[in-house]
C-alpha cells in the first residue's frame, strides 16, 4: 500500500474530489482526518471509508476560520498520533463571481477567505506537525483557470487559485530543506457537484466547454485524486514546488 502508516488531513472531504481523495488515501493505507463545513456530508465520507475497511475521523469546521482549522488538525493528530499529508482541497466557486468590473467586494472577501486563507491556515497549523513527523507532503488544489484567461470570467476565483500556486512555491522553498514538499494540482473541469449542479446543467454551456477539451470529455474526480496519491506518497519524493496540470489538454489547446 502506497500510504501505509501515513496520516492525511483532507479539507472539503464531504463532496466531490475531497471525498474521492479521502476514500483513495484510506484505500492505500492512510488514516484520514476528513474536514468539511458540512458535518453530515463529512460523516457520510467517513462512513464510506470505514465501510471499505479504512480509517478516518470526521472533523467539521470552516477552513476560513483559523480556530476551526487549528482544532481540526489537533483532533486529527490526537486521533492518529502524527500528520504526514495536507490535502488542501476545500474551495468555492460562487455564481456571483464574474468580471473584475462587476464583482462585489463581498464576493472577493468570501472567495479569498476560503480558497486562500483556508489553505494558509491549514499550512500554518499542519506544517509543524509534518516536520515533527519527519517530513511530509502539502498538496494544494488550484485550478487550470489560474494558467489561462477565460472569456467567461470568474475573476475572484481565478485570482484566488493563482495565489494558491504562488503560495505553494513559497512553501516548497521554505520547507523543502525540512523534508516537507509542497505542490499544487491544477485540475481542468471535473464532473463534481461544484460544476454539475451549476455550469454543466445548461446543455449549451456544457457543449461550449466540452468543445475545448482535446480528450473529448470532462474530468472525473479520480483523474485528480490519482495525481494527489502520487504527490502524497514517497514516489514523488523529488517533486517539489510544481503546479501539475491535469486538464485533458485544455491549457495546451490554441484552436
Ligand atoms: N470541479 C471542478 O471542475 C474543479 C476544477 C478545478 C479546481 N477545482 C477545485 O477543486 C476543489 C474541490 O472541488 P470539488 O469540485 O470537489 O467541489 P465540491 O463543491 O464538490 O466540494 C467542495 C467541498 O468543500 C466544502 N467546503 C466549502 N467551503 C468550505 C469551508 N469554508 N470550509 C470547509 N469546507 C468547505 C464543501 O462543503 C464541499 O463538501 C476546489 O478547491 C475547487 O476549486 C474544481
Summarised one tens digit per residue, pLDDT across range 109-148 is 999 999 999 999 999 999 999 999 999 999 999 999 999 9
Closest Cα to atom 23, ligand 1: which residue? 12
Top mutation candidate among 12, 34, 42, 185 for ligand 1, by most atoms within 8 Å of CB: 12
In this predicted structure, what is the pLDDT of residue 193? Answer: 79
In this predicted structure, what is the pLDDT of residue 139? Answer: 99
Question: Is 63 a pocket residue for ligand 1 (Cβ < 6 Å)?
Answer: yes
In this predicted structure, what is the pLDDT of residue 204? Answer: 87
Per DSSP, which regions of the chain are E strands?
7-11, 31-36, 55-60, 85-88, 136-141, 180-187, 243-246
CA distance 98 to 79: 41
Question: Is 54 a pocket residue for ligand 1 (Cβ < 6 Å)?
Answer: no
CA distance 177 to 54: 32
Q: 77: Cβ–Cβ under 8 A, 6 or more apart, which residues?
A: 7, 83, 129
Q: What are the structural domains, with CATH classification, of the chain?
A: 7-188+224-242 (3.40.50.720)
Q: 203: Cβ–Cβ under 8 A, 6 or more apart, which residues?
A: none
Positions annotated as catalytic residues are 157
In this predicted structure, what is the pLDDT of residue 154? Answer: 96
In this predicted structure, what is the pLDDT of residue 192? Answer: 87
In this predicted structure, what is the pLDDT of residue 89? Answer: 98
Question: Is 136 a pocket residue for ligand 1 (Cβ < 6 Å)?
Answer: no
Question: Is 192 a pocket residue for ligand 1 (Cβ < 6 Å)?
Answer: yes
The mean pLDDT value of the chain amounts to 96
Q: Which residues of the chain have pLDDT under 50?
A: none
Question: Is 17 a pocket residue for ligand 1 (Cβ < 6 Å)?
Answer: yes
Q: How far is the CA of 121 from the centre of ligand 1 (A)?
A: 16
Q: Please name which of 29, 244, 248 lies closest in space to residue 143, comparing C-alpha atoms.
A: 244
Distance of alpha carbon 184 from the chain centroid? 9
In this predicted structure, what is the pLDDT of residue 202? Answer: 85
Q: Identify the three-state secondary structure at position 154.
A: coil
Q: How far is the CA of 177 from the centre of ligand 1 (A)?
A: 30
Amino acid at each position: 500500500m502506497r500510504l501505509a502508516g501515513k496520516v492525511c488531513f483532507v479539507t472539503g472531504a464531504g463532496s466531490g474530489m475531497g471525498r474521492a481523495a479521502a476514500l483513495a488515501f484510506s484505500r492505500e493505507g492512510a488514516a484520514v482526518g476528513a474536514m468539511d463545513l458540512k458535518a453530515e456530508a463529512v460523516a457520510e465520507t467517513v462512513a464510506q471509508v470505514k465501510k471499505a475497511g479504512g480509517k478516518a475521523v470526521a472533523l467539521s469546521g470552516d477552513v476560513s476560520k483559523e480556530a476551526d482549522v487549528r482544532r481540526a488538525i489537533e483532533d486529527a493528530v490526537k486521533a492518529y498520533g502524527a500528520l504526514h499529508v495536507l490535502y488542501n482541497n476545500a474551495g468555492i466557486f460562487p455564481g456571483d463571481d464574474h468580471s473584475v468590473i462587476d464583482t462585489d467586494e463581498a464576493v472577493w472577501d468570501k472567495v479569498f477567505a476560503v480558497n486562500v486563507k483556508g489553505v494558509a491556515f491549514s499550512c500554518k497549523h499542519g506544517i509543524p506537525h509534518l516536520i515533527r513527523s519527519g517530513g511530509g507532503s502539502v498538496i494544494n488544489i488550484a485550478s487550470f483557470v489560474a494558467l489561462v484567461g477565460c472569456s467567461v470570467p470568474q475573476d475572484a476565483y481565478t485570482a484566488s487559485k493563482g495565489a494558491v500556486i504562488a503560495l505553494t512555491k513559497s512553501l516548497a522553498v521554505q520547507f523543502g530543506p525540512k523534508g516537507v514538499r509542497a505542490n499544487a494540482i491544477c485540475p481542468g473541469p471535473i464532473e463534481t457537484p461544484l460544476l454539475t449542479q451549476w455550469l454543466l446543467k445548461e446543455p449549451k454551456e456544457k457543449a461550449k466547454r466540452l468543445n475545448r477539451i482535446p480528450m473529448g470529455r470532462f474530468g472525473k474526480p479520480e483523474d485528480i485524486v490519482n495525481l494527489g496519491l502520487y504527490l502524497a506518497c514517497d514516489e514523488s519524493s523529488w517533486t517539489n514546488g510544481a503546479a501539475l496540470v491535469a486538464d485533458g489538454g485544455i491549457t495546451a489547446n490554441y484552436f
